[in-house]
């Protein structure tokens, strides 16, 4: 057997996946989430994240090989997230990958985390081109257009905060359990009352912004607290989600009518959001819609492995920056 071993440690998930090198079949994906440890602090503590990756990476590795029913000698290639992400966390995955690659004398490929999120689509669907991907995660909000495999054109990104970051921040202010995204998702689904009106940024072209929405929600909450008014937490959270989702949908509609993709995907942690998924499936009838299953939306090594399998040999062993835009450059 010949397999590709993929490693993802860019934030608070220690994940290793095994993929068949020839058939691309996903043989195992193990994700050890540190969520509980960070929940006590209301957000990811970078120092704690790196330490926990160091503690768990070996057992995650062994479990991934066991579940894939293979041994170390079956590994033909190793792929690891190179960035972007928390530097200490990334270093744990990279050192583990480099050591293993030297020991086994197999090639090592550095993968761009966002390219990985986009290739999560390929795990359950056949990617079709031209392809348009909406990336919505804790660190990124981007529209990426692909004419073919390995060509990424970032049409637009957020000027300030990422959508997931704002979900987490709003949830924290509203004292909802960490992580904020799933908490707001659940509240929204059970909320039936009227919505408050929060701003939706309307920047030119494909630029997006989330800081105005964040400030507006937080200010309204603090003002209501000061005036000792009764606060409807569910109403604020649900109204926030409505505005947050509206902005990315407006940009996605604009890009679909301008670029006429054959297929669209929505990827990254926020794409596991029930309301966002429903809206995309409902509103985009004339184009094939692919949204990965929730387990492949949040950080996982399967997407890193799938991305590595599509790296062209003549482009070298690393994910390269196809467009000059800053969010795709790894320092
Ligand atoms: O892709 P991801 O796992 O990590 C990054 O690369 O950032 O995304 C994490 C983000 C967090 O902000 C989290 O709150 C958000 O995804 N998220 C959600 C949901 N599940 C996770 N946001 C909205 N609704 C969800 N169901
Ligand atoms: Zn991610």
Tens of each residue's pLDDT in the chain, 331 residues: 899 999 999 999 999 999 999 999 999 999 999 999 999 898 899 999 999 999 999 999 999 999 999 999 999 999 999 999 999 999 999 999 999 999 999 999 999 999 999 999 999 999 999 999 999 999 999 999 999 998 999 999 999 999 999 999 999 999 999 899 999 999 999 999 999 999 999 899 999 999 999 999 999 999 999 999 999 999 999 999 999 999 999 999 999 999 999 999 999 999 999 999 999 999 999 999 999 999 999 999 999 999 999 986 545 556 644 333 444 555 4
DSSP-based three-state secondary structure for 294: helix
Ligand 1 pocket member 139 (CB < 6 A): yes
DSSP-based three-state secondary structure for 123: helix
In angstroms, how far is CA 76 from the centroid of its own chain?
A: 27
CA 69 – ligand 1 centroid, Å: 31
The answer to whether residues 172 and 43 touch, using CB atoms and an 8 Å cutoff, is: yes
DSSP-based three-state secondary structure for 87: helix
Span between the terminal Cα atoms of the chain, in Å: 35
Q: Which atom of ligand 1 is nearest to the CA of 164?
A: 12
Ligand 1 pocket member 142 (CB < 6 A): no
Q: How far apart, in whole angstroms, are the C-alpha atoms of residue 138 and residue 136?
A: 7
Closest CA to 233 of 191, 272, 189: 191
Instruction: Give the CA angle between residues 279, 271, 206 to the nearest 5°.
Output: 75
The answer to whether residues 297 and 268 touch, using CB atoms and an 8 Å cutoff, is: yes
Ligand 1 pocket member 298 (CB < 6 A): yes
Ligand 1 pocket member 272 (CB < 6 A): yes
DSSP-based three-state secondary structure for 233: helix
Reported pTM? 0.95
Q: How far apart, in whole angstroms, are the C-alpha atoms of residue 303 and residue 264?
A: 17
Contacts of 283 (CB under 8 A, 6+ apart): 249, 253
CA 11 – ligand 1 centroid, Å: 11
Ligand 1 pocket member 12 (CB < 6 A): no
């Amino acid at each position: 057997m010949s397999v590709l071993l993929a490693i993802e440690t860019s934030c608070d998930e220690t994940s290793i996946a095994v993929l068949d090198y020839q058939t691309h079949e996903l043989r195992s994906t193990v994700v050890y989430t540190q969520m509980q440890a960070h929940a006590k602090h209301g957000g990811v503590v970078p120092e704690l994240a790196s330490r926990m990756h160091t503690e768990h990476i070996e057992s995650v590795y062994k479990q991934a090989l066991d579940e894939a029913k293979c041994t170390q000698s079956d590994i033909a290639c190793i792929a690891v997230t190179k960035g972007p992400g928390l530097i200490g966390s990334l270093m744990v995955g990279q050192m583990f990958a480099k050591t293993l690659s030297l020991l086994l004398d197999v090639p090592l490929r550095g993968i761009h985390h966002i390219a990985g999120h986009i290739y999560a689509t390929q795990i359950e669907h056949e990617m079709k081109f031209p392809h348009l991907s909406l990336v919505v995660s804790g660190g990124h909000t981007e529209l990426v257009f692909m004419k073919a495999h390995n060509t990424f054109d970032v049409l637009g990104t957020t000027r300030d905060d990422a959508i997931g970051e704002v979900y987490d921040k709003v949830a924290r202010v509203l004292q909802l359990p960490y992580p904020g995204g799933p908490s707001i998702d659940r509240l929204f689904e059970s909320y039936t009352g009227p919505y408050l009106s929060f701003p939706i940024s309307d920047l030119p072209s494909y630029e997006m912004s989330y800081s105005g929405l964040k400030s507006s929600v937080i200010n309204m909450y603090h003002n209501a607290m000061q005036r000792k008014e009764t606060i409807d937490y569910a109403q604020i959270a649900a109204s926030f989600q409505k505005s947050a989702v509206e902005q990315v949908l407006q940009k996605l509609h604009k890009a679909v009518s301008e670029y006429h993709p054959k297929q669209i995907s929505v990827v990254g942690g926020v794409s596991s959001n029930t309301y966002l998924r429903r809206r995309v499936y409902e509103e985009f009838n004339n184009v094939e819609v692919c949204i990965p299953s929730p387990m492949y939306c949040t950080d996982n090594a399967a997407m890193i492995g799938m991305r590595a399998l599509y790296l062209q040999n003549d482009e070298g062993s690393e994910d390269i920056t196809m467009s000059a835009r800053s969010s795709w450059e790894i320092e």
